[in-house]
Amino acid sequence: MDERTQVVRGMILREKSRRPVYIAWDEYNVWYRARSGDDVVGNRALEEKYNLEDALVIAGFLNCFVRNADIVKMANMAQLVNVIAPIFTEGDELFLQTIYYPLQMYANNMKGESLDVFVDSPTYNTAPRFSLGDNEASTHLQDVPYLDVTAALDGDQLVICVLNRHKDNAISTEIICQQGEFTGPVEVYEINGPDIKSENDFDKINVQTVRKDDLKKPGASFEFSFPAHSVTMFKGKIK
């Protein structure tokens, strides 16, 4: 997603327009289960049941939008209720799918200016997935960082969101503020579940946002271990 955004950014810059031209990401979402099989017809057509894995993908999308906030000015999810949606209803009942929680976290907290974040993280290579034609060639991404990080500053409030893509391992790192320091406790929130296939349903909530213990005045830097397959948000005042 970052790569495609940069390609379109380059196309815009090449045209040298006299007025600003921005990018809109139209109808993004995770959608692959309900494209085939018996579920594509009838009343259940395109009703994806999302798991933690999908919530992590959504967090990655949102990080891309924040990271490229100077040129991505609009992004709308497809859809909102039942059909490939974060909210699922049936009759008078409702439950929030796993992908609802990163949307809620970012919408309520990632405000102000997007910061340029330097990330040094272990990496991995994706498996070849996409055929390029009759020659059976394929492409894959190399050196993808396990930790995907964005930050936003709204007045004196700093918010940092960290996605740990690793399926099995926690990753420890040091968070360093090059300018300023936290003036008090830092709130910590986490989206996670028992495993990446964990789903929510009408009678169970396996994946949701959980408030963790605050960091007690960490100052300009602190160490933190990000659990496997998780999204973590820090929120605190800085000066």
The per-residue pLDDT for range 126-147, each reduced to its tens digit, is 877 655 555 555 567 788 999 9
Q: Which pLDDT score is estimated for 142?
A: 82
pLDDT digits (tens, 9 = 90+) for 11-42: 999 998 889 999 999 999 998 876 655 555 55
Domains of the chain and CATH, by start: 2-112 (no CATH), 142-237 (2.60.40.1180)
Question: Which token pair is 169?
Answer: 């391992």
pLDDT digits (tens, 9 = 90+) for 149-189: 999 999 999 999 999 999 999 999 999 999 999 999 999 99
Q: Which pLDDT score is estimated for 158?
A: 97
**Under 8 Å between Cβ of 69 and 114:** yes
Q: Which pLDDT score is estimated for 17?
A: 86
Rg value, the chain, Cα: 19
Strand partners for 187: 235
pLDDT digits (tens, 9 = 90+) for 184-215: 999 999 999 999 999 999 999 999 999 999 99
Q: Which pLDDT score is estimated for 35?
A: 60
**Under 8 Å between Cβ of 153 and 113:** yes
Measuring CA to CA, which residue among 185, 201, 194 is closest to residue 230?
194
Q: Which pLDDT score is estimated for 156?
A: 96
pLDDT digits (tens, 9 = 90+) for 77-133: 989 999 999 999 999 999 999 999 999 999 999 999 999 999 999 999 887 765 555
